[in-house]
Amino acid sequence: MSIEDGVRPFEEGVRTDFEGRMSYAGYLDLDRLLSAQHPLSDPAHHDELLFIIQHQTTELWLKLIVHELRAARAFLDDDELSRARKSLARVKHILHSMTDQWSVLATLTPSEYAEFRGVLGSSSGFQSAQYRAVEFLLGNKHGRMLEVFRSDAKAHALLSELLDSPTVYDAFLRLVARRGLAVPAEVLERDVSAAWVEHPELVQVFREVYSDTTTHWELYETSEDLVDLEDAFQLWRFRHLRTVQRTIGFKTGTGGSSGVAFLRRALDLTFFPELISVRTEIGA
């Protein structure tokens, strides 16, 4: 097979007739996916499509994160630690992709965004049900958040379920207890609908893990996986903050939040505080 006139001929066997057959576009439902962008500015501002696709792509990644965190939780419940770690690793890499993605939105200048920001109305990323689902799965639970989704039955049901379900960290700590370590009963029997707060006595459990990594190798590795995940999540949060700051400065957010100040406070939240605190104990 040779290239003539700059044209590469089809290889033998390449399908060109998809009548009655599954195609790439059909499998991915591209007709619906690629027609889901509806700029509201009139006339349509060139950069509004970027803004929409950025956020739609983020929602697709969040959907996959929820899928993987649910799987990790189930694998931990079933003592399938290797499979749980695979899901956690995948979430970490998704978060890295999401963090890099902010650099695309950062090409939107303040002047360009100001020309169509008004069409967003009161819509805001604060209202992302999937983002809240991720936070609930990781332990940052807040029952009042359900009020935001009262008009969305599907989102309300999802978050209600996750509010009343154990977190990934709960599942891991139960596995740690099954491995013979002295996880306090109050931790194992806690109200899972409450936001996680640090348990100082749990730090000593992890000190034992980190002090004898040979005996507790799998627990040690999984603990580090969770720290990796939290670092990746916090980097995504920070990149979000910096992108918002360079685009709107210190304006109030479209959803009514304080904007950058609100995002900065989120950086103080931590999902697995004992896994950070134990580092102070190691070698002391």
Q: What are the tokens at 134?
A: 């991720």
For Cα atoms 178, 184, 185, give the angle at the middle one, nearest 5 degrees. Answer: 85
What's the rounded Cα separation, in Å, for the pair 69 and 73? 6
240 annotated binding-site participant: yes
What is the CB neighbour count within 10 angstroms for residue 224?
13
51 annotated binding-site participant: yes
What's the rounded Cα separation, in Å, for the pair 149 and 159? 9
SS3 137: helix
Which residues touch 279 (CB under 8 Å, ≥6 apart)? none
55 annotated binding-site participant: yes
Q: What are the tokens at 142?
A: 């807040």
Q: What are the tokens at 79?
A: 């003592």
Q: What are the tokens at 27?
A: 């499998």
24 annotated binding-site participant: no
Give the per-residue SS3 of 32-96. HHCCCCCCCCCCCCCCHHHHHHHHHHHHHHHHHHHHHHHHHHHHHHCCCHHHHHHHHHHHHHHHH
113 annotated binding-site participant: yes
Per the annotation, binding residues are: 51-55, 113, 117, 240, 254
Per the annotation, binding residues for substrate are: 51-55, 113, 117, 254
Per the annotation, binding residues for heme are: 240
